[in-house]
Structure 1
């Protein structure tokens, strides 16, 4: 999983709050969150749920 952080960081100049991938055969889909505190995590999850 470290490779996706390095890839996104090099492509976009930093690490966003959320990185996701859709998975592939034999690989699980994942959503990764990086927040400074629980309030940011709750806000990120609320935003995700609103988009569904």
Structure 2
């Protein structure tokens, strides 16, 4: 049986690399005050993952 590589499977899941600390008092999408340092760190992590996949 041949595998269909166009269909997503559990191997396509991204492993989380950072800890999440939800603040249930804030809006569910974007916090009121974005921390530039934290945002820069998240962007760097995503860029590293994209570069690793290339």
TM-score (norm 2): 0.30
Max Rg structure: 2
Higher strand share: 1
- Structure that is richer in helix per residue: 1
Give the structure, 1 or 2, with the largest relative contact order (CA under 8 Å, sep 6 or more). 1
